[in-house]
A = this chain, B = another copy of it.
Amino acid sequence: MGKKEVPSLVKDEKLIEKRRGEMVKAAVTLFKANGFHRTTTREIAKASGFSIGTLYEYIRSKEDILYLVCDSIYDSVKNKMQEQVRETDCTLVHVKQAIAAYFKVVDEMQDEVLVMYQEAKSLSREALPYVLKKELEMTAIFEELLKRAVDRGELMLSSDEIRLAAHNILIHGQMWTFRRWSLQREYSLDHYIDVQTELLLGGLVGARMSAQS
């Protein structure tokens, strides 16, 4: 499904998955503490529990690790969200639930999201599109939800506004991590969710609906 394949010298698929899982976990911790560029492959190998030689049996280059990290984080975020959101119904309430679910997942995976957010730019021109694509897939989820709410007449949004609103939701989630130094000092997560949801959707409902009546 359009995922970039990272080649490995090792044949055993199970082993690859296991070792790469360990690598990613170690890498996230280290990237979070020191950033991608300040983290050495040796450190990653050590924190992963195997030697530098073994590390390179499972990847071709340091950048592969960054790609695996980004890839894995997106998958986790998406999976965790899908666990919480049932798409059978799509009323406005469900849109709000989805937003809240997303914000909660971001909060849970704060370190990971922040790392991905700050380091993805270091991916090569070859690997970056794969990550951007995943970001757009995330956006598409909210677009779809908003669109259905509009179709049901619960929200008044042009298609341009839907697009941008979806982007905004995504960004407000990430903002919770990369502005933690300011936001998490002043707001609890629940409060942040409430206020942001109000700002995002508040006006779009009551406002215009009352205008319609």
Residues of A that sit less than 8 Å from B by CB? 35, 37, 118, 121-122, 132, 136, 139, 158, 160-161, 163-165, 167-168, 171-172, 175, 179, 181-183, 186-187, 191-192, 195-196, 198-208, 210-211
Contact = CB atoms under 8 A, between A and B. Distances in A.
A121 B158 CA distance: 36
- Looking at chain A's contact residues, is the secondary structure mostly helix, strand, loop, or mixed? helix
A163 B202 CA distance: 16
Contact of A208 (B37, B160, B203): B203
Given A121-B118, A122-B35, A164 B203 contact: no
13 contacts: A132-B181, A132-B182, A161-B195, A161-B198, A163-B186, A168-B199, A171-B175, A171-B179, A203-B204, A203-B206, A204-B207, A206-B208, A207-B207
B35 A199 contact: no
A136 B172 CA distance: 17
B122 A199 contact: no
A67 B183 CA distance: 23
Contacts of A139: 182
A179 B121 CA distance: 11
B206 A211 contact: yes
B167 A179 contact: yes
